Amino acid sequence: MHSEKKKNRFEIDMCNGSIMNKLISFSIPLMISGILQLAFNAVDIVVVGRFSGSESLAAVGSTTALINVFTNLFIGISLGANVLAARFYAAGREKEMSETVHTAITFAIISGVVMALVGLFFSRGALELMGTPDNVINLSTLYMKIYFLGMPFFMLYNYGAAILRAVGDTKRPLLFLIVAGVINACLNLLLVIAFHLGVAGVAIATVTAQFVSCVLVLRCLYKSDSSYQLRFSKLMIKKVYLGQIFQVGIPAGIQSTVINFSNVLLQSSVNSFGSVAMAGYTAANNIFGFLYASINAVTQACMSFTSQNYGVGKWKRMDRVLVDCLILSTTIALILGGGAYLFGPELLKIYTDDPQVISCGMEILLYTTVTYFLCGWMDLFPGSLRGMGKSIVPMILSVIGTVGTRIVWIIEDFVYFLSGILDHYDHSAGDLLYFCQKNRLCATEKTRGCYIMKKEMLYFPKYKRE
């Protein structure tokens, strides 16, 4: 067993004692971190929407999926660093732990610089491929270019936080995030309201906050006297450890990238309906993101706990970790998901007063929040497998199942479905067949859409899209 286990009050001993209590202790700071990060991002959306107009709101919101496509491969690789570091730390292999830390941080610097260049030169072209409207694309491009200049700081924070999670420390990353988030919020108010910089002000505030969080996490690693101590003179790439990080991280990154590519297709479908639909989708996605952050905290806990116990050969404890994570994830999802839908109108009004935008957002929340416990289950099993160093199978299942289903839905049905959300009296789309368990005719002379029910099929007549 590791001689440095629980050496400071921030670390958690994942291999001994009560599992559920330690899962909760690990997950809550991580959950709060995710929620706060989204809250600070929501401040971006709220400030720019309230003080710069709906076009600026749409410009910031429409870049989210595209940014995720660009960044998630490298963020996925940080999961590999987390798994490998947790395994070495639990097994007491100090030399391997130190070299893994320095390899991960070096790779973070390289990937951050690469992503900054990609964002600087390819932002507009990617936005054009997404079909971003002409009245939004210039603002979206400006936001993305400034945002991507902060990628080195963003990558360093994420890889540094992954190392801290590997040893059971989720409290200090939370403190760093609070400090950076407060700075972000204050700069938003200053740059957008006082200096009228619009989307540029929001992007500058975000980059500044990323820089602060990066400095804090690197300082934490540098000041440590444990095996994960960082020394800049030791930064280098060790191929043997980078290969093991890639073994877990690249499949996870590919999976995340492909899923976010499907989100880009979804965003493209939304973009075709103009800035009102884009604003509604942006607001609903921000609310949904809080739920995702909460469930993802449990998935991260499952992966870290599994990895440490795998490193010391405690197989039965790994099984108990998965079961307890399933219970915890389901409970959180049902409480927060139900609450998000019940209070959806009030939450959406934080972002906008437009009734069309709110109506659109509520339709999206209905299908994404109430049933999210199923997504929690879907994430936990791959998380457990990744903790054991097995990442290929989860990637394949996710790409074939989740992404394949999404793409079919987007291509066949989504544009028609959303047209009904935006205007129940003008389904400006093509044919849509819904199978349902209703047997009565539903028609009215006051609407241009006639609902004809035959047995278990509901048919929506065809109209041309404007």
Interatomic CA distance for residues 293 and 53, integer angstroms = 28
Task: Read off the pTM.
Answer: 0.77
Residue-level pLDDT at 239: 94
Q: What is the pLDDT of residue 69?
A: 75
The pLDDT profile of the chain, 466 residues, written as one tens digit per residue, is 444 444 577 889 999 998 999 999 999 998 898 888 877 777 887 888 778 777 887 888 778 778 877 788 888 899 999 999 999 999 999 999 999 999 999 999 999 999 999 999 999 999 998 788 888 899 999 999 999 999 999 999 999 999 999 999 999 999 999 999 999 999 999 999 889 888 999 999 999 999 999 999 999 999 999 999 999 999 999 999 999 999 999 998 888 877 777 777 777 777 777 777 777 787 888 788 788 888 989 999 999 999 999 999 999 999 999 999 999 999 998 998 888 888 888 888 887 787 888 888 887 888 788 888 888 888 898 889 989 988 888 888 777 777 777 677 666 555 444 444 444 444 333 333 333 333 333 333 333 333 333 333 333 333 333 3
**In the prediction, which pLDDT does 410 show?**
63
Residue 383: the pLDDT is 87
Nearest partner of 319 among 305, 299, 333, 300, judged by Cα: 305
Which pLDDT belongs to residue 35?
82
User: 167 near 85, Cβ under 8 Å?
Assistant: yes
User: Are 465 and 415 a contacting pair, CB within 8 Å?
Assistant: yes
Q: Give me the amino acid identity at 79.
A: L
Which of 441, 440, 459, 457 lies closest to 449, judged by CA? 459
Q: What is the pLDDT of residue 412?
A: 58
The whole-number pLDDT of residue 452 equals 34
- Residue written as tokens 């360093």? 156
